Amino acid sequence: MTTAPASLPAVAGDAALVAGTSLWRDAWKRLRKNRAAVAGGVVTVLLMLACFLGPLAVKALWGYGFADQNLAYGARAPSARHWFGTDYFGRDLLTRVLYGGQISLVVGLLSATVAALIGTIYGAISGYAGGRVDGAMMRAVDIIYALPYMFLIIILATMFQRSLVMLFLALGFVGWLTTARIVRGQTLSLKEREFVQAARSVGTGARGILFRHLIPNALGPIIVYFTLTVPSMILQEAFLSFLGLGVQAPRPSLGALISDGARHMSVFWWELAFPGAVMALLLFCLNFLGDGLRDALDPQMKR
């Protein structure tokens, strides 16, 4: 009788030791241990805040807008008045780099979102339907894969009106193929699991199974690939802007600023150095964050 109370703390401790954790909590713990991913996420957030709030701060403090020209001032090196210098038309380069980063981030995020939505729905339907429907849908993906990816984007960018909306739609509409394959593979492995069979047994329709059971359980790989797609979209937007098919003047993007700087780099080095450095830092941080999320959400990494 006297030993029972003494054993209660041990039982409680044992219960605490065997208590399970959710996938997301376990992934969060692993992600926090990845210093490169955490640093990449912190710097990415700081860059996003700088790009979206910086132009407003510069306008309030110094009165510079991204399109304000001062032809008499011209291109000058960095100074206390213009931290990143000015371009050929006397425009403040700091404001243009921050605003260009804002445009590049918006295009990258929206393009990756469009690609993720199309690829997720397409891949889930293909994997759940199976049989001939799955075969036909995947053959269509293979055919599009065989076509030059950037060539399709250039065709879409030249056929339709060049606008910011059309740019991220063009990037998203041809960037969903890998997401579709990933989601299809996840759906094939999940659709015969017990919770899906239980949903069928209670009369849940195909739409309910797809959007309430299969897609939510495939969110891990989708989120990982989304984070890796964003820097890819930003890089492709920069390439299109370098060719003159991306964001149109007077709006700047990092790609357009790099293109302008490349033409004057032998004389005005700062026009290429600062936009290139910001873009390189942004892409590095996004890739570090994506790699960290991939490792954190990979079940094989669990110990």
Cis peptide bond N-terminal to 250, omega within 30: yes
Q: Which whole number is the average pLDDT over 180-198? A: 88
Q: pTM above 0.75?
A: yes
Q: What fold does the segment set 22-64+85-301 form as a domain?
A: MetI-like fold (1.10.3720)
> What dihedral do alpha carbons 91, 92, 93, 98 form, nearest 10°?
-120
What are the pLDDT digits (tens) for 73-85? 888 899 888 899 9
What are the pLDDT digits (tens) for 219-270? 888 888 888 888 888 888 888 877 777 777 778 888 888 888 888 888 889 9
Determine the angle formed by the axes of helices 93-129 and 270-297, rounding to 10 degrees: 30
Between the alpha carbon of residue 182 and those of residues 71, 103, 120, 121, 138, the distances in Å are 52, 29, 8, 11, 12
What are the pLDDT digits (tens) for 106-151? 888 888 898 899 999 999 999 998 889 999 999 998 888 887 777 7
pLDDT at 21 over 80: no
Token duo for residue 78: 């960095």
147 — alpha (psi -120 to 50), left (phi > 0) or beta?
beta
> What dihedral do alpha carbons 62, 66, 70, 74 form, nearest 10°?
110
| pLDDT value for 121 | 93
Report the chain's terminal Cα–Cα distance, integer Å. 40
C-alpha–C-alpha distance, residues 278 and 266, integer Å = 20
Between the alpha carbon of residue 52 and those of residues 102, 104, 110, the distances in Å are 6, 11, 15
The average confidence (pLDDT) of the chain is: 82
What are the pLDDT digits (tens) for 142-176? 888 887 777 777 777 777 766 777 777 778 877 88
Determine the angle formed by the axes of helices 93-129 and 131-146, rounding to 10 degrees: 150
Strands (DSSP E) contained in 217-261 are none
C-alpha–C-alpha distance, residues 57 and 59, integer Å = 5
| pLDDT value for 235 | 85
